[in-house]
Amino acid sequence: MVDLQTQYLRIKQDIDAGIQEVIDSAAFIKGQKVKDFQTHLEAYTGAKHVIPVGNGTDALQIALMALGLKPGDEVITPTFTFIATAEVVALLGLTPVVVDVEWETMNMDIESVRRAITPRTKAIVPVHLFGQCANMEALMQIAREHDLYIVEDACQAIGAKYTFANGETKQAGTIGTIGCTSFFPSKNLGCYGDGGALFTNDDALADRIQAIANHGCRVRYHHDEIGVNSRLDSIQAAVLDAKLPHLDEYIAARQKAAAYYDEAFRGCDRLLIPGHEAHSTHVYHQYTLRVAGADRDQLRERLAERGVPAMIYYPVPLHQQKAYLDPRYKDGDFPVAERLASCVLSLPMHTELDEEQLAYITSNVLEAIR
């Protein structure tokens, strides 16, 4: 599904040198490398503040803590996503309110969001699923109308760009009140362990996020509020700082592979290629087909026999997960998400796919589905 080894070998010297520098400096925590990467990522994304943390899940949790949300406050999330999005809401004693997604883009459905708003709604967490932004124009409008926070889950979408009706273009994660991303190894900008970051343009929020990520502490051993311990370590920052200058090439390589897939599958009526959000670029964290009129699981098995890996992201929507079962929701309440869970299939997607591999994958998919 991914090839991190070949990608490493292309910039091995830079990565090795960065890691060696950290070891030589012995500044493993809060070292210069973390500051350098933070500054470089601010320049790349255009976010006024980047706050590096331990992982993407922590970033989401810290974002909700920094907004001062209280138990009973409702937070709207899509039901078709990775579990972390709702997990942190539940962990903080907030109430997750799930909504359906769109069939084409697989992102949050705007009408469902409007219907889910109550007097207790405090925040919306749109997930830029698989690498393209949700409909941020509409979501920002809803947030203004109802005075809500937007916490973008941009864990899969770093580098994606969204263009507003007024012509303004912003990067995924820098649009809402706070944005969150993950540097998990297989993410579009991945380190060699765990890592994550928050983005915000608000000075006071940045200060609060920084403090919460550091035990609620601004002055050493003086704790202003209850925080957590979540930091990006210097070795991971060194890896990320070596990879960041290549992020645009990495995105272009993913887009090229996606275009090859699109072209190969466009004529096949049993495979629906990913639909596009009108005003977002797509950075293809995943290339996800919808299998129609054929058995998805059987297709996956046949592909495995031919040495083509394929994965199901995600087989069970949030409202059907055992830990999140809720009397407010029943099967059938979110028909698009439920249908997607039964028909999506993600193909290998990474920066090192060459024409030979793509030809092998696509011809085998087309044969296996016949």
Q: Which is nearer to ligand PLP, 100 or 194 (CB)?
A: 194
Q: Is 57 in the site for ligand PLP (CB under 6 A)?
A: yes
CB of 186 to ligand PLP, least distance (A): 9
Which two structure tokens, joined as six digits, stand for 249?
């090439």
Which span sits near ligand PLP by CB under 6 A: 68-76, 137-145, 152-160, 210-218?
A: 152-160
Query: Could you say which of 18, 56, 179, 190 contacts ligand PLP (CB under 6 A)?
Result: 56
Query: Considering just the CA atoms, what is the radius of gyration of the chain in Å?
Result: 21
Q: Is 346 in the site for ligand PLP (CB under 6 A)?
A: no
Q: Residues in contact with ligand PLP, total (CB under 6 A)?
A: 15
The interface with ligand PLP within residues 161-190 (CB under 6 A) comprises 182, 184
- For 109-118, which contacts have Cβ atoms below 8 Å and span 24 or more sequence positions? 109/78, 109/336, 110/135, 110/138, 110/139, 110/142, 113/76, 113/139, 113/142, 114/142, 116/76, 117/76, 117/142, 117/146, 117/148, 118/74
What amino acid occupies position 370?
Answer: R
Q: Which is nearer to ligand PLP, 132 or 156 (CB)?
A: 156
Q: Is 85 in the site for ligand PLP (CB under 6 A)?
A: yes
Q: Which is nearer to ligand PLP, 299 or 310 (CB)?
A: 310
Q: Is 287 in the site for ligand PLP (CB under 6 A)?
A: no
Q: Is 81 in the site for ligand PLP (CB under 6 A)?
A: yes
Q: Is 155 in the site for ligand PLP (CB under 6 A)?
A: yes
Please, which residues have CB within 8 angstroms of residue 354's CB and are 6 or more apart in sequence?
none
Q: Is 78 in the site for ligand PLP (CB under 6 A)?
A: no
Query: Could you say which of 86, 106, 127, 206 contacts ligand PLP (CB under 6 A)?
Result: 127
At residue 132, the 3 state secondary structure works out as strand
Q: Which is nearer to ligand PLP, 109 or 153 (CB)?
A: 153
Q: Is 340 in the site for ligand PLP (CB under 6 A)?
A: no
Q: Is 77 in the site for ligand PLP (CB under 6 A)?
A: no
Give the Cα-Cα-Cα angle 206, 67, 89 (nearest 5 degrees).
Answer: 120
* b/e per residue 57-70 (b: at least 16 CB within 10 A): bbbbbbbbbbbebe
197 contacts 53 by C-beta, under 8 angstroms? yes
Q: Which is nearer to ligand PLP, 182 or 214 (CB)?
A: 182
Give the strand pairing for 178-182 and 149-153.
parallel
Q: Is 130 in the site for ligand PLP (CB under 6 A)?
A: no
164 contacts 206 by C-beta, under 8 angstroms? no
Query: Among candidates 171, 165, 151, which has minimal Cα distance to 47?
Result: 171
Which span sits near ligand PLP by CB under 6 A: 50-58, 111-119, 160-168, 289-297?
A: 50-58
| Distance from C-alpha of 98 to C-alpha of 133, rounded to nearest angstrom | 18
Residues that bind ligand PLP in the complex, under the rule CB under 6 A: 55-57, 81-82, 84-85, 127, 153, 155-156, 182, 184, 194, 196
